[in-house]
């Protein structure tokens, strides 16, 4: 197993984790359910942790695939930039979630406000990471590239 294989195994975790955590946290906030809010904040924090392996294996995966036929270095760089932005946004959401959990433990009325902020940032993180995943798919899945099979692509 190499870095590319590891990257492919773990890169879906932060995308799906941020989606799941945003839905869970959003449900808790809408229902004003403290248990669901807490679970949602823990899930956002977990999604942030799960983003680390994907980020850490990306460079090694790029080194393995960059010289393969029909692999564009420009696509790799675009994916890497998008992934880094999504990573930092999700890590920000995780930091907010941790802060929200601490405020919940202290029974602070500001905990809900921080939870709303964590939700907004986690949702943004999901969007950015989903885009990064799409861009990553373009690297080796030529069938999803625009113009696939045209003379320009061959």
Tens of pLDDT, residues 77-93: 999 999 999 999 999 99
Q: Where do we find the tokens 């960059």?
A: 66
Q: What is the largest CA-CA distance in the chain?
A: 64
- Alpha-carbon separation of residue 5 from 49, 54, 95, 130 (angstroms): 19, 11, 29, 19
Domain ranges of the chain: 3-143
Instruction: Kindly report the pTM of this predicted structure.
Output: 0.88
pLDDT at 147 over 90: no
Cβ-in-10-Å burial (0-12, 13-18, 19+) of 24 comes to buried
Helix 3-10 with 34-65: angle, nearest 10 deg: 150
pLDDT of residue 121: 98
């Amino acid at each position: 197993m190499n870095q590319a294989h590891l990257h492919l195994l773990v890169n879906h975790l932060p995308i799906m984790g941020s989606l799941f955590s945003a839905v869970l946290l959003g449900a808790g906030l809408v229902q004003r359910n403290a248990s669901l809010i807490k679970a949602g904040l823990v899930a956002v924090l977990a999604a942030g942790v799960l983003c680390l392996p994907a980020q850490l294996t990306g460079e090694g995966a790029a080194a393995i695939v960059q010289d393969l036929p029909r692999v564009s270095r420009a696509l790799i760089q675009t994916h890497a930039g998008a992934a880094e932005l999504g990573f930092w946004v999700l890590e920000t959401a995780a930091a907010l979630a941790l802060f929200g959990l601490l405020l919940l433990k202290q029974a602070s009325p500001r905990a809900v406000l921080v939870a709303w902020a964590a939700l907004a940032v986690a949702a943004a993180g999901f969007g950015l990471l989903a885009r990064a995943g799409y861009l990553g798919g373009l690297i080796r899945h030529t069938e999803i590239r625009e113009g696939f099979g045209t003379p320009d692509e061959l």
